[in-house]
Amino acid sequence: MEPMKSESTVPAYSVRDTLRNLGLRPTRQRIAVARLLLNGGNRHVTAEDVYREAQMAGVSLAYTTVYNILHQFTEVGLVREVIVESGKTWFDTNVGPHMHVFNERTGEIRDLDVDPARLNLLRQLDIPEDVEIKDVDVIIRVGQKTSPHQ
């Protein structure tokens, strides 16, 4: 609606291509969510965040669709699920090897880079032969520093 002003540095057609290359039809809704998520550096969002931000950006889409899209994006490796609290799923646009720091007081999640070799140590484990390691999640739970007793 407003051709004079672009909201992002990545043109729409490149998002379209990204989606197409991943086997996803570039619908209005997928393009909107992809732009939201993939333009602003690493982000942690919930379905609600995506819903709300899409509305603010003038793109209305149903919750059902938000969930559909986020799950599809997870399947194709565009985002990654992060679960730190029961009853809420976060989606992380950083799909490289890293860990998460979860502040139990504020509810905030932050990425923490880690020497990949160190993270790989955790993969060298005795796992039954019939299964395969899909992912290794490391969550550092932090809280308010307890003041010394008395």
Interacting residues toward a copy of itself by CB under 8 A: 83-89, 99, 101, 103-104, 112, 114, 118, 121-123, 125-146
Tokens encoding 138: 């490391």
Residues forming beta bridges with residue 106, ordered by sequence position = none
The DSSP call for residue 110 is E
Q: Show the binding pattern over residues 64-103: x = contacts DNA (CB under 7 A), - = does not.
A: xx-xxx-x--------------xxxx--------------
Which partner, DNA, a copy of itself, none, binds residue 114 by CB below 5 to 8 Å per kind?
a copy of itself
**CA 12, CA 105: separation in Å to the nearest integer?**
39
**CA 106, CA 11: separation in Å to the nearest integer?**
35
**CA 144, CA 52: separation in Å to the nearest integer?**
30
Q: Candidates 4-12, 20-28, 111-119, 120-128: pick the segment binding DNA (CB under 7 A).
A: 20-28
**Of 36 and 61, which has the nearer Cβ to DNA?**
61
Name the strand (E) or helix (H) holding 90: strand 88-92
Task: Quote the least distance from Cβ 73 to DNA, whole Å.
Answer: 11
Which partner, a copy of itself, DNA, none, binds residue 76 by CB below 5 to 8 Å per kind?
none
